[in-house]
Chain A
Amino acid sequence: MSKQLWETRPLEIWGRAKALRARWQKSIDESAEQENLLLAHGNTGEVDWRESFKGLNIIEDNPVGAMMASVSDSFARKARLASEIRGWGREICGYVQNCWGVQFLGYQLDNSPFPLRDMCVPFSDPCDQHTKRGQQCMDFSPIPRWGGDWMMYLGERDPQREVEMIEERVYNTLKVIDDIERIFGIEFDDEKFVESIKAHRQVGEYALKVTQSMTNIPSPLGQKDLYSFYTLGGLTKVAPDELVDFWKSFSDELQWRIDNHIAAVGNERYRWMEAHPSPWHYLRYYRYMEQYGAVCVGSQYSHMMAGPIELKPDGTMDRREMIPRPAGTEIRTREDAVRAALTEARGHRFKDDEYFRLNAITDFAKGFKVNGALMPLYRGGVGCTLTRKEQGLQLSEIGVRVMHYEGSQPGDRTDLDERRFMDQLDTWMEGQGLRKFEE
């Protein structure tokens, strides 16, 4: 690499990460063959209770939809078309359209039958179509559907209001668990649940250190790699202890890289952030940007793995606690665990409200010392695009150069014009006086 400034080398932890990922994939593949009930879910959301049910297998539509689009564009298109002709519009999230389009087709990419779900508990989100999430499978089978209530937050933050919102969510989550126990007669393992919430909390602590490491110049980790890791523990379910150990090792390795000046991009001279990735099949733009000596140091999308973070007065990024946890609070019961998880999750939800989205993005830019920001404008999954232009203006005002580009959604490559995107990147970088090193 030209103009080498720092040593760079691959991460040691890659092998372990791939092994964990492979185990998760195997669990998905085997779900249909088992006698267990199948739960459809969007994402983990704030409280990961599902693993604590005995006899329940979970298939999340977001990662399944994302993988489909990356592995086979033609099959993903076929699936989305199957969904569209049943009236599900193109503004709907690409992940959802891919996943449930397969249900309508009846067969998966490998020609195996679509594993029909027995129940669904979609997480709702500000993306308007998420209120319809789960309806495709609920109507098709039909199966019971519970709504994960996720309220929008308008206006300035109010601690009392936070408490009320959390209590409503606690009630909502406990009711879903109770209902599933009662209706399906399956047992919820409270002990396992408490342990998993504790483990999740520990993973969050290490994830915070990973996030903080990327504020370092040079960054020891690039966003492209972080996108591979952040699902491990969030979306990807393996043994809790193993995940905690994995994240500890990951965070330790990054600290070692910082101490030894090992960079993700050896010629780092430009740092950029983003709000979402491009469609997943097209992550090579990170490598392209390295020709300019540019490294992507983060995204709200992936750094949410670290939980609530904010810019502190000393310029560091650290834990945001909207509602301080009372000292000595122990997690003993199901309700304790649900409340603790929700309380800690509250406040990092950059998707929640327009007020917080705007402030959070400028704080993020300052904390990660970025020069620029890439902000996609997506046609589908409108929560992905909500306030992006306003965020761009806010960033411009603090001197961060912003490039917007158009696309469908990370799970749908239809509207991403790859050639144009590259041209835009060249214009963006050269417009800032930077040329590729080989030129």
Chain B
Amino acid sequence: MITAGVDVGLENIKIVILKDGKIAAKSEGPAGGAGRGRAAEKLWEETLNKAGIQAADVSKTVATGAGKYDVAFAGDRVVEVVADARAARYFYPNATSVVDAGADQVRVATLGEGDKIEEVVLNQKCSAGLGIMLKYMGRRLGMTLAEMSALAPDAAGGKTVNDGCAVFTEMDALELLNRNVHKKEVAGAVVQTVICRINAILKDKIPPAKETTVFIGGMTRNTAVVDGLKARSGIRFLIPEEAQYGCAVGAAVIASDR
């Protein structure tokens, strides 16, 4: 059986094709802003080519993510946190919690028996601590995401910026730059604020288990954030190789049920 999951995020689209429960092909591309429906179709063609199949060979396609209603070729939709939960159990059958940190959302789900979700926590509206803020601040500081990812744990050198509001984060960062603080230290402080924010969401209701919590989403590519979050939260996250495709994988698994 061949199924597909399409995760249309704010920044990137991720598509996964599952064949008999195994990942047969995966692709990632920019979301394309208002044209994300077209961007998804283009990426869909690429992924089909990678898998060496036609669209008609796919039994069902489920879309998820902020742009899930823009995916015309999907037969069904699922909310992101349900896809996250299925992905966590796909990668690690004994998983008890899943954290998905991306461009505009941080989601934490506590998993119950079977497909049941016991609890969900989402970030509130402010983009503080999210991937989109990290990207924006990188641009402000003249650093790439890769450079920010490579920052050492103590890069901040004791400097701090506001972790409650992205606007205040930027103001604090600018103030540090105006005091001639090196941009790497400022970037380190920004990374720390991201870590604090995600950690607060992690601990909002039911603290995740130390050994059986899965971490997925685009933020897993940022080594500085992942290492810092591990240290601060005390959680030894399970991070699958296809972590940034997690939500799409979950959608593809759900497609095989529907």
- Residues of chain A at the chain B interface (Cβ within 8 Å): 377, 392-393, 396, 401-402, 404-406, 415, 417, 420, 423-424, 426-428, 430-433, 439
Contact = CB atoms under 8 A, between A and B. Distances in A.
Given A393-B205, A396-B205, A427 B122 contact: yes
Contacts of A392: 205
12 contacts: A392-B205, A396-B206, A420-B125, A424-B122, A426-B79, A427-B81, A430-B79, A431-B79, A431-B81, A431-B82, A431-B120, A433-B116
Contact of A431 (B117, B125, B205): B117
Interface of B: 66, 76, 78-82, 107, 109, 115-117, 119-120, 122, 124-125, 205-206
Given A393-B205, A431-B109, A377 B124 contact: yes
Contacts of B109: 431
A439 B68 CA distance: 15
Contacts of B80: 427
Contact of B78 (A402, A404, A430): A430
Contact of B120 (A406, A415, A428): A428
B40 to A, nearest CB: 18
Which of B78, B116, B120 has the largest count of A CB atoms less than 10 A from its CB? Answer: B120
A420 B119 CA distance: 19
B82 A406 contact: no
A433 B117 contact: yes
A307 B81 CA distance: 40
A401 B112 CA distance: 14
A430 B125 contact: no
Contacts of A405: 124
Given A431-B81, A431-B109, 5 more contacts: A420-B125, A423-B66, A427-B79, A427-B107, A431-B79
Nearest to A429: B79
Nearest to B66: A423
A1 to B, nearest CB: 21
Contacts of A428: 120
Contacts of A433: 115-117
Contacts of B122: 424, 427
Contact of B125 (A402, A417, A432): A417
Contacts of B124: 377, 404-406
Which of A404, A423, A427 has the largest count of B CB atoms less than 10 A from its CB? Answer: A427
Contacts, number: 41
A405 B81 CA distance: 16
Nearest to B114: A433
A406 B126 CA distance: 10
Given A426-B79, A427-B80, A427-B81, A406 B125 contact: yes
B95 to A, nearest CB: 16
Contacts of B79: 423, 426-427, 430-431
Contacts of B76: 439
Nearest to A401: B119
Nearest to B80: A427
A404 to B, nearest CB: 7
Lowest 10 CB-CB distances: which A-B pairs, in order? A430-B79, A431-B120, A427-B79, A431-B117, A406-B124, A406-B125, A426-B79, A431-B81, A430-B82, A427-B81
Nearest to B85: A431
A292 to B, nearest CB: 12
Nearest to B76: A439
A428 B120 CA distance: 7
Contacts of A430: 78-79, 81-82
A437 to B, nearest CB: 15
B60 to A, nearest CB: 14
A423 B78 CA distance: 11
A396 B118 CA distance: 10
A401 B66 CA distance: 23
Contacts of A404: 124
A125 to B, nearest CB: 25
A184 to B, nearest CB: 47
Which of A377, A393, A420, A430 has the largest count of B CB atoms less than 10 A from its CB? Answer: A430
B247 to A, nearest CB: 12
Contacts of B82: 430-431
Nearest to A426: B79
Nearest to A389: B204
A430 B258 CA distance: 15
Contact of A432 (B66, B117, B205): B117
A439 B69 CA distance: 14
Nearest to B120: A431
Nearest to A424: B122
Contacts of B119: 396, 401
A389 to B, nearest CB: 8
Nearest to B126: A406
Nearest to A427: B79
Contacts of A401: 119
Contacts of A420: 125
Contacts of B115: 433
B92 to A, nearest CB: 19
Contacts of B205: 392-393, 396, 402
A103 B115 CA distance: 56
A189 to B, nearest CB: 50
Which of B107, B109, B205, B206 has the largest count of A CB atoms less than 10 A from its CB? Answer: B205
Nearest to B124: A406
Nearest to B77: A439
Contacts of A426: 79
Which of B109, B117, B122 has the largest count of A CB atoms less than 10 A from its CB? Answer: B122
A430 B68 CA distance: 15
Contacts of A424: 122
Contacts of B125: 406, 415, 417, 420
A431 B85 CA distance: 9
Nearest to A432: B117
Contacts of A432: 117
A427 B120 CA distance: 9
A66 to B, nearest CB: 23
Contacts of A415: 125
Nearest to A396: B205
Which of A396, A405, A427, A431 has the largest count of B CB atoms less than 10 A from its CB? Answer: A431
Nearest to A419: B66
A423 B123 CA distance: 13
